[in-house]
A and B are shown apart, each in its own frame.
Chain A
Amino acid sequence: MTETQTPAAGAQLSLRALTKRFEKFVAVDALDLDVGAGQFFALLGPSGCGKTTTLRMIAGLEEPTSGQILLGGDDIARLKPYKRPVNTVFQNYALFPHLNIFENVAFGLRRRRIGNVKPKVDEMLELVQLGAMATRKPSQLSGGQQQRVALARALINQPRILLLDEPLGALDLKLRRQMQLELKRIQTEVGITFIHVTHDQEEAMTMADTIAVMNNGVVEQLGGPTELYDNPATTFVSNFLGQSNLIRGTVKTAGADVVVDVHGTTAAVPADRARVTSGDVWVGVRPEKVELTAAGQAAGAPGTTQTGTTLAGGVVAEVAFIGVSTQYLVEMPWGQQLTVFVQNNGARDDFRPGDPVDVHWRGEHTFLLDAAQDAHAGEEE
């Protein structure tokens, strides 16, 4: 279930069998993880998955039960937080209310008795566009400004690694979008390794180079945003990142293509997209990769000759017009409802509830998962 791939050489932070056990439950279970130097790395997962505990162990605010935290080869797992070249942007920022913005940002420099504080702080406030706010108190700033102060206060210490704990969680949607781009810009500019903890899959996909999807204290899958989305390794990942249709099937033959029997229809899935190659499987396909036609009509988007799998006998159950797309729920003969997103680009027919339809997809858009896994794992409530 756990899949860890080691990214290119030069990994700066490595977690080795990192474990945190609280009295009754295991928050982080023998976690192995490698984060490359200069990466924007996201730990993504639902609340309680162990991502924040992992972050706090890297920061030194939580002591690991066992395991190693290797920073450039040195084990820092037992070091006090103030001895680690790691800084954190806390959830809700944790700015010092009794100090002004300048002193908040200068805090780390002063503790390390680094001279020449003023130009450094001024430069950092400039980077986060808060030069004019130096003498204000945190309470006089907006949420977005406080967020940037928290970032400046951590970055000014030039940490080897910057940890961000749900940094945008307290901001409204519009500001969050803006700050996502801002964070990405700053990360590119300073080149420090960012490790970003979030439960927001969109936020993780927008910013991170590499995402580790965590669940129940282990990494379910690690990879780039596109890879995780297109080829999820578990039902949890397929549901937690976007939506998936998971249809029950049985493998008939396995070769370059894995051929699966799906409720009487044969579907072919490229072998590199199959996590299992025998027995019962989930055939997964994203809603926007499914094509809908009137019953009996041939599929095929303009310009393609590829024919994939066709499942006949569907009936439109529900239609929701979203704007850019229309969302259909299609009831299949075996009782399952499939979700289909159709772009409203004028090239498709519209359907109404009760219309008989066929659903089509192409093999390279599907993925095969172990049928032993819960089809609803990771779905939003």
Chain B
Amino acid sequence: MKAFNPKSWDWFLVGSALLLSLIGVLLIYSAKFNTVSLADKELYIKQTMWLGLALLVFLVTKEIPPKLHEALAYFYYAAGVLLLLLLLAFGATKMGATRWFALGNFNLQPGEIMKIALIMALSRFLVYSKRSPRDLTWVLISALLALVPVALVLKQPDLGTSIVFVVLLFAMLFWAGLPYYFLLLLITPIFSLVTAFHWISWGLFFVALLVFLYHLRPGLWFSSFLVITNLACGVLTPLVWHRLHDYQKLRIISFLNPGNDPLGAGYQIIQSQVAIGSGGLLGKGFLHGTQNKLEFLPEQHTDFVFSVLGEEFGLVGGIILLAIFALFLFRAIGIAYKSRNRWASFAAWGIASYFAFQIFINLGMTVGIMPVTGLPLPFVSYGGSSLLVSWIMVGILQAIYSKRYEY
């Protein structure tokens, strides 16, 4: 152990993460203050204990040199994929989804571990690959690295996590300097996805893509990859849609039109907005949110924890939380571009994008501009795995920060 050196700490990063975690405990306390069940009432104690553990893990993680992770990156990746495979074979099934191993009291979610592993592996690959603008094989391999866990996670099925993997891929390619129009091309499968239900518009879109590819000539491999994925998306989407679980379909439909089914899937979205809206400027006061304490809010301690804040602390509370998150993300991005080590820079970037995406999706869902995906709000939502993984990532960021001048 080295001597404690306060200058090697990114106090803003760690401080904001700690603040967010404490706000989380507070909100969980409020969320379960009025429940009848004693076990639920004490969730905030559990979360506090998780936080303690997470901080310990953070202190360990921040001491691990980034170069070690770099060396082990593919190993992490292989281990993550193996865990996902094992999960599909032996995992615990709940509500039609297989997401974790039950290890006594603790649920191990390989999906969470895979997020870190994927970031590290992609960083490693992107640092050492030859990135020529003519030959885009490297893009293809990166995509394959991401798509393996995407496929495994979709099999569980866990739509939210698989989207996280795809987003990580894009964020990393962006950081690797891929030209913007290639990024746009990479997004084309998503367009295919959207237009797939209307085959004429999909056909038009597909023809436009072919013309574009002929004009740009981004290489044979890349072109055929795009053509194949677009074809697959266009043709398979309607088929996949029919294979989705009903609750997943409902989530998508109810996001598009929450008023459609106010007692069913749209209920969460409506009640969350009612909670936030009725908070007003200053909120109803700590422990006085009626939507919260009378349990009109669904999942108020996990996915919809921001509605508790919005209801009890109002617009002012919301702005403060947004500001803390913004500070945290800005610091993480700063670490990414200031780090001299290339792998570290990629890894920090991946972590920053991961947080940014989770935050946007969760907050967007709670205020009703994103579909309900079931992604927790980092640091704030109740949940040991999520908190632990978040703090491991903060640990890695801190480690990178303290060695930011090393090549």
**Chains A and B belong together in one complex:** no
